[in-house]
Amino acid sequence: MVNLSLVWTVAIVCGLAFLGGFLAKKLKQSTIIGYLLAGILLGSWMINYLQAGQILSGLAEIGVAFLMFTIGLELSLKRLYRVRDIVLWGGILEILGVIFLGVLVLPLFGFDFYSSLFMAAAFSLSSTAVVVKILSERGELDTLHGEIMLGWLLIQDLAVLPMVVILPAIAGVGNGGWGEFVLSVIKAIGFLIVTILLGKNVLPFVIGKIADLKSRELLLLAVVAICLFLALASAALGLSIALGAFLAGIIISETSERHAIFSQIRPLRDIFAILFFVSLGMFLTPKFLLVNLLPILGLSLGIIFFKFLIILILTFYLGYHARTGILVSFGLVQVGEFAFILASLGLNRGLIDSYLYSLILSVTTLTLLLTPGLIFLAPKFYLRLRKISQKHFPKLYQYLFTRYDSSRPLAAGLALENHVVICGHGRVGSWIARALRMLGIPFIVIDYDHQVINVLKKEGIPALYGDPADIDVLDYAQVDKAKVVILAIPDEITQEMVVTNCQNLNSKIKIISRIHHASDQSRLKALGVASIIQPEFEAALSIIHRSLHFFGIDKEEIAKKIKRIKIEHGVE
């Protein structure tokens, strides 16, 4: 049997990966799923071509290095600041909670201690790539639950760093090698210190000098060399390639050239990362999936349930509204792409066997497939749970769903009549509130972010902590006496609830709502919303107005063109 050459291997892998990614996009799934499916197909066909397998395995190692490098490069601690308390404590406690439960529960199903620990560590991580993509498509990246999820995922990304050091070291302890464990930790700490010192004192200077040459090719070569050399240095110390590449990304992220570096290395990262995900799928055969279907389903459902419960308890305990807790919990229940990296590390180092490796990959893939549906169902689940508890469990309903400030110190001192009720105090709502305050128009803000409410109260702004969809909260905000209600929240289900409840309280109320997608316009109009604003469309109109002005077109003609566009869009 003729061995495939490097060119043939890469060509076939890229072709199948394209088909898998194309199919995944059409089905509105993460392209990672498509690459894994391509690997499954490839594995059942190429498994006997050892040379091809070795070639792909080597390329996949480079893929891991570039993937970890760019994650370190993109790391932004500023994202953590606004929701730092919940993501720091919540993220760490969630990881420890999942690991603790895994070590307790998994041995009951025949797994040994180390296998249970390894799987639990992998399963504690969620998918940054998939969650960010879905939130971006839904326009929820800047919402409270979106910011919490982003920060939580960032903590999980950072947690990979100690995991790739500690998990192999614990395996040595299991074999009686306490000395090896201590040595591994010392080497990791030493490598970390040396890398940070190198990053602070040497690399910024070197990168700056190379950038001064004004050659993108030389900058790219230098960065690739730094990434791979640090990855190899890490491997030479008995650590992992992933650890060295991740640290390389972190130290280069501190340089002023990091954005240019990321744009240069991203295409390389994407190609090699695709090869990595395809190589993972090669170990997942259809036979394995069919034979182990029940364990895969059982593990997947158990992980989703326990992660949901742990995250929900943590968010609620840390003072967030039940709605925020449910949205965050549903968004983070999946197992993420870092589980693939840990599984690959474990198999290559002999920490886990091929069965455990395939099991981790199967569970991760299934939970990723379920993620879009779970995030879509989260608001509906919240409303359904609220309705059931209100009807059958009034005490639970009171505790979970009616958390708003009943002291009324601000509202009692204001003449809340002909006022504005602002639902949501994010990027849009905050500017609206500022304008109303400058004009002296009375208003009250409703938001389920208690930190925002506390800040507003300190500034003397009337604010109410609660879910704007709750009719009791709207009643407390005196919607029956209000003149205008402004919906500055992007969630369409909440929007519908607010509109319905406002109209029940005040049939003459004028409602202004923002929307994310143009398709939402007809739905809200049918509900009786007086004015609908799509921020992207309004931005486009402003750009058109200024652009036409630069071409010397008179104001009257510009106004006519903009009016025509508005009519075509359905807002006139």
What beta strand segments (E) does 475-530 contain? 484-487, 510-514
Please report which confidence band the pLDDT of residue 98 belongs to, taking 50, 70 and 90 as the band edges.
very high
Q: Are residues 347 and 420 in the same domain?
A: no
- Give pLDDT, residue 101: 92
Question: Are residues 353 and 309 both part of a single domain?
Answer: yes
Query: Confidence class of residue 124 from pLDDT cuts 50, 70 and 90?
Result: very high
Is residue 39 domain-shared with residue 152, that is, in the same domain? yes
Residues 370 and 432 reside in one and the same domain: no
For residue 53, what are its two tokens? Answer: 């397998």
pLDDT for 311 beyond 90: yes
What is the structure's pLDDT at 180? 60
Evaluate whether residue 387 is within a structural domain.
Answer: no
Look at residue 3 and tell me whether its pLDDT is greater than 70: no
- What local confidence, expressed as pLDDT, does residue 409 receive? 42
**Which of 339, 362, 380 is a domain's end point?**
380
Q: What's the rounded Cα separation, in Å, for the pair 250 and 246?
A: 6
Q: If you average pLDDT over residues 381-390, what whole number do you get?
A: 82
354 and 463 share a domain? no
State what percent of residues in the chain have pLDDT above 90.
9
Residues 53 and 104 in one domain: yes
**What's the total number of domains in the chain?**
2
What is the CA angle 107-371-334, rounded to 5? 30
Same domain (yes/no): 339, 440:
no
pLDDT at 304: 94
80: confidence class by pLDDT, cuts 50, 70, 90: low
510's CB contacts (< 8 A; 6+ apart) are 483, 484, 485, 530, 531
Q: Please report the pLDDT score of residue 37 as a whole number.
A: 81
For 294-306, the DSSP string reads HHHHHHHHHHHHH
Given phi > 0 = left and psi -120 to 50 = alpha, else beta, which region is 90? alpha
> How far is Cα 30 from Cα 246, in angstroms, rounded to an integer?
23
Q: Is residue 564 part of a domain?
A: no
Binned at pLDDT 50, 70 and 90, residue 333 comes out as very high
366 and 417 share one domain: no
The C-alpha atoms of residue 373 and residue 130 are separated, in whole angstroms, by 12
Question: Could you tell me if 326 and 375 lie in one domain?
Answer: yes
Both 361 and 444 in a single domain? Answer: no
Taking the C-alpha atoms of residue 341 and residue 348, their distance in angstroms, rounded to an integer, is: 11
Examine residue 571 and state whether it is found in any structural domain, yes or no: no
Q: Find out whether 124 and 138 touch, Cβ atoms under 8 Å.
A: no
Is residue 473 over pLDDT 70?
yes
Q: What is the CATH number of the domain that holds 126?
A: 1.20.1530.20
What integer pLDDT is reported at residue 2 of this predicted model? 46
Contact criterion met (CB below 8 Å) for 442 and 414: yes
H helix runs in 27-124, sequence order:
31-46, 50-74, 78-81, 84-85, 91-105, 113-123
- The answer to whether residue 476 is domain-embedded is yes
Boundary of a domain, candidates 329, 363, 380:
380
**The pLDDT of residue 506 is above 90:** no
Phi, psi (deg, nearest 5) at residue 398: -60, -40
Q: Which of 163, 142, 161, 147 is nearest to 90 (CA)?
A: 147
For residue 570, count other CB atoms closer than 10 A to its CB.
11
Tokens of 476: 């407390």
Shared domain for 185 and 68, answered yes or no, is yes
The per-residue pLDDT for 549 is: 83
Mean pLDDT, the chain, integer: 79
The mean pLDDT value for 219-241 works out to 78
CA distance 127 to 339: 9
Mean pLDDT of 236-247: 72
> What pLDDT shows up at residue 99?
92
Type of residue at 33: I
In a domain, 245, yes or no: yes
Does the residue 282 lie in any domain?
A: yes
What percent of the chain is modeled with pLDDT above 70? 83
Is residue 50's pLDDT more than 60? no
Torsion of CA 285, 290, 295, 298, to 10 degrees: 110
pLDDT band at residue 329 using 50, 70 and 90 as cut-offs = very high
Whether residue 401 lies inside any domain: the answer is no
Reference 114, options 365, 367, 349; nearest CA is 349
Q: Domain residues for 427?
A: 413-533
Cβ neighbors of 453 (< 8 A, separation 6 or more) are 405, 445, 447, 463, 464, 465
- Domain contains 397: no
pLDDT at 97 over 80: yes
Where among 326, 357, 380 does a domain terminate? 380
Identify whether residues 352 and 449 lie together within a single domain.
no
How much is the average pLDDT of 100-127? 90
Query: Do the Cβ atoms of 311 and 285 come closer than 8 Å?
Result: no
Taking Cα atoms as reference points, which of 60, 341, 65 lies closest to residue 229? Answer: 65
pLDDT digits (tens, 9 = 90+) for 259-280: 777 777 777 777 777 777 777 7
Which pLDDT band holds residue 469 (cuts at 50, 70, 90)?
A: confident
pLDDT digits (tens, 9 = 90+) for 487-501: 888 777 778 888 888
* CA-based nearest residue to 35, from 284, 301, 243: 284
Q: Which region among 64-73, 345-354, 427-436, 490-499 has the lowest average model confidence (pLDDT)? A: 64-73
